[in-house]
Amino acid sequence: MGDDWRELDIANPTQEHSMLREMVRDFVREEVEPQALEHDKHEKFNIELFRKLGEYGLLGISVPEKYGGAGMDATAVAIVNEELSYSDPAFCLAYLAHAQLMVNNLAQNGSEEQKFRILPKVCSGEWIGCMAMSEPGYGTDVLGMQTSAVQKEDGNWLINGNKMWITNGAIDDQGTPADIVWLYARTGEDDKGRAQITTFLIEKGMDGYAVGQKIYDKSGMRASNTAELVFDNCLVPPENVVGNPGGSMTHMMRNLEIERIGLAAMALGIARRSLSAMNKYASEREAFGHQIRDFGQIQRHIGESWAEYRAIRAYVYDTAASTNLGLAGNRLDSDGVKLFATTAAKNISDRAIQVMGGYGYVGEYVVERLWRDSKLLEIGGGTLESHQKNITRDLVKNHDAIER
Ligand SMILES: Cc1cc2nc3c(=O)[nH]c(=O)nc-3n(C[C@H](O)[C@H](O)[C@H](O)COP(=O)(O)OP(=O)(O)OC[C@H]3O[C@@H](n4cnc5c(N)ncnc54)[C@H](O)[C@@H]3O)c2cc1C
């Protein structure tokens, strides 16, 4: 065996991936970074910049080219999320809600008719999408969801219920709803009493679909909109049902895997930026006649952050490389990497503030925003506790994963 494999950079495994990273990095430097602080401060979603992601082919990153996408893989998804989150995790969260939670889900699970009808619009940025799973009373306990759909005799469906915490659920402060919602609703129960879940594609303008409220005053992720959605006798035609009624559990679970890898990649971007900021600052700042990097306690902050950053990077790209977007089966690592990366990123951004003292606590120096944004990653897309539960369950069935 030759030694070529030693040269593989798992974060940039092909030239296409490297070029993608370079392109996104340039875009972030020129367009994302200059607006991040202001949009966080004013809790504003930058819709114009968001649509530009479509021009760069990023909104349909994982969608086959025949539907208007870039046809790339989970590693590409991680690259884009890492680079955007280096500068603006909230903007990236809006991107993730659209590109991974709605668009990728449709690309993997929709019918040909649905894909040709909808994907070109969401890949270009003409339409903004979201995914609605959580409810005011049910988050982790997702199968408890109460939003229900009943099919009428004429074949149309009537949907009733509320969805909560929906990223991109409102696209502005006037309560304009997303153009398309990937909505999960209860359509029955199996013989063990568990909810049967069906996916509906809800389009702006459908009767009975509205924004309940935009949620203000979030701790972090303030430049992404979060909203409550209301479905009040919302009438949906049968062509907007995805797959077989009652059969959405599989694609819900499958898409959660890429969501979790995407969120872990966001943590990676936060970790890299925070480490970069603290490392530079530790050389610039002097105290007691020394650079502060000469102090052992500062060295602990930097040393531990480097080691954790490297571990996140390896785990994110290793998990992405072994993820096939069309298949479920990587829950152990998609939960594992999100569990590890999100808390590590939060700790690294916290250390960055500590190293930077008073300056670190001020918006202009970026890391306090990353610290606030990082906390959401421990909650959204599955809480830390849900990952611990899933991993422990999966290791019962798959003990060999430890020994191989
Ligand atoms: C900014 C933001 C954006 C979001 N975007 C979206 C979105 O786009 N779409 C969407 O559908 N949802 C979204 N969410 C919702 C998010 O996924 C939920 O908040 C999350 O799943 C947790 O649900 P919950 O808030 O209802 O908390 P709960 O599920 O009520 O959990 C409360 C606490 O109890 C713990 N807990 C619950 N069950 C167990 C258990 N069995 N064992 C141990 N501990 C348990 C939890 O871990 C947590 O610590 C978003 C949330 C936020 C804050």
Q: What is the mean pLDDT of residues 124-151?
A: 97
Rounding to the nearest 10 degrees, give the CA dihedral for residues 195, 201, 207, 212: 70
Ligand 1 centre distance from Cα of residue 385 (Å):
10
pLDDT of residue 77: 98
Tokens of 100: 């991974």
What is the pLDDT confidence band of residue 383, given thresholds at 50, 70 and 90? Answer: very high
Q: Are 102 and 287 in contact (CB under 8 A)?
A: no
Ligand 1 centre distance from Cα of residue 37 (Å):
27
Ligand 1 atom closest to the CA of 384, numbered from 1: 47
* The 3-state secondary structure of 30-44, one letter per residue: HHHHHHHHHHHHCCC
Ligand 1 centre distance from Cα of residue 135 (Å):
9
Ligand 1 centre distance from Cα of residue 163 (Å):
12
Residue closest to 196 by CA, chosen among 143, 132, 240, 138 = 143
Average pLDDT along the chain: 97
pLDDT tens readout for residues 344-358: 999 999 999 999 999
pLDDT of residue 273: 98
Tokens of 146: 């109460």
What is the pLDDT confidence band of residue 404, given thresholds at 50, 70 and 90? Answer: confident
What's the whole-model pTM score? 0.98
Q: Residue 209, SS3?
A: strand
pLDDT of residue 2: 81
Q: What is the mean pLDDT of residues 201-212?
A: 98
- Rounded to whole angstroms, how far apart are CA atoms 23 and 27? 6
Residue closest to 345 by CA, chosen among 256, 400, 274 = 274
Determine whether 12 is exposed, middle or buried from the number of CB atoms within 10 Å of its CB (0-12, 13-18, 19+): middle
pLDDT of residue 244: 96
- 236 beta partners: 157
User: Is pLDDT above 90 for 192?
Assistant: no
Q: Are 62 and 77 in contact (CB under 8 A)?
A: yes
CB atoms within 10 A of CB 60: 27
pLDDT of residue 191: 83
What is the pLDDT confidence band of residue 293, given thresholds at 50, 70 and 90? Answer: very high
Q: Which of 379, 388, 390, 391 to mutate to test the pocket of ligand 1 (most atoms within 8 A of CB)?
A: 379
pLDDT tens readout for residues 76-126: 999 999 999 999 999 999 999 999 999 999 999 999 999 999 999 999 999
What is the pLDDT confidence band of residue 339, given thresholds at 50, 70 and 90? Answer: very high
Element at 16 (helix H, strand E): helix 15-27
Residue closest to 122 by CA, chosen among 173, 181, 82, 78 = 181
User: Is pLDDT above 80 for 319?
Assistant: yes
Domains of the chain: 4-127 (1.10.540.10), 130-247 (2.40.110.10), 250-403 (1.20.140.10)
pLDDT tens readout for residues 259-284: 999 999 999 999 999 999 999 999 99
- What angle do helix axes 89-96 and 47-55 make, rounded to 10 degrees? 60
pLDDT of residue 195: 85
User: Is pLDDT above 90 for 217?
Assistant: yes
Q: Are strands 157-167 and 286-287 parallel, antiparallel or unpaired?
A: unpaired
The catalytic residues are 259
User: Is pLDDT above 80 for 1?
Assistant: no
- 163 beta partners: 229
Ligand 1 centre distance from Cα of residue 380 (Å):
6
Q: Please tell me the residue having the least CA distance from ligand 1 atom 2.
A: 165
pLDDT of residue 385: 98
Q: Are 261 and 323 in contact (CB under 8 A)?
A: yes
Q: What angle do CA 171, 174, 177 make, to 5 degrees?
A: 40
271 φ, ψ (degrees, to nearest 5): -65, -45
Q: Please tell me the residue having the least CA distance from ligand 1 atom 27.
A: 139
Q: Are 266 and 85 in contact (CB under 8 A)?
A: yes
Q: Residue 270, SS3?
A: helix
Q: Residues 6 or more apart from 392 whose CB is under 8 A from it? A: none
Q: Which residue has the tokens 């970026």?
A: 366
* The 3-state secondary structure of 288-357, one letter per residue: CCEEHHHCHHHHHHHHHHHHHHHHHHHHHHHHHHCCCCCCCCCHHHHHHHHHHHHHHHHHHHHHHHHHHH
Q: Are 68 and 124 in contact (CB under 8 A)?
A: yes
Half-sphere exposure of 38 (CA within 13 A, CB side): 6
pLDDT of residue 190: 84
Ligand 1 atom closest to the CA of 221, numbered from 1: 1
pLDDT of residue 121: 98
pLDDT tens readout for residues 36-75: 999 999 999 999 999 999 999 999 999 999 999 999 999 9
Q: Which residue has the tokens 């449709």?
A: 106
pLDDT of residue 362: 97
Residue closest to 88 by CA, chosen among 31, 132, 136, 167 = 31
Q: Residue 154, SS3?
A: coil
Q: Which residue has the tokens 């030694």?
A: 3
pLDDT of residue 38: 98
Q: Residues 6 or more apart from 2 whose CB is under 8 A from it? A: none
Ligand 1 atom closest to the CA of 169, numbered from 1: 8
Q: Which residues line ligand 1 (CB under 6 A)?
A: 97, 130-134, 139-141, 165-167, 218, 221, 226, 376, 379-381, 383, 385-386, 389
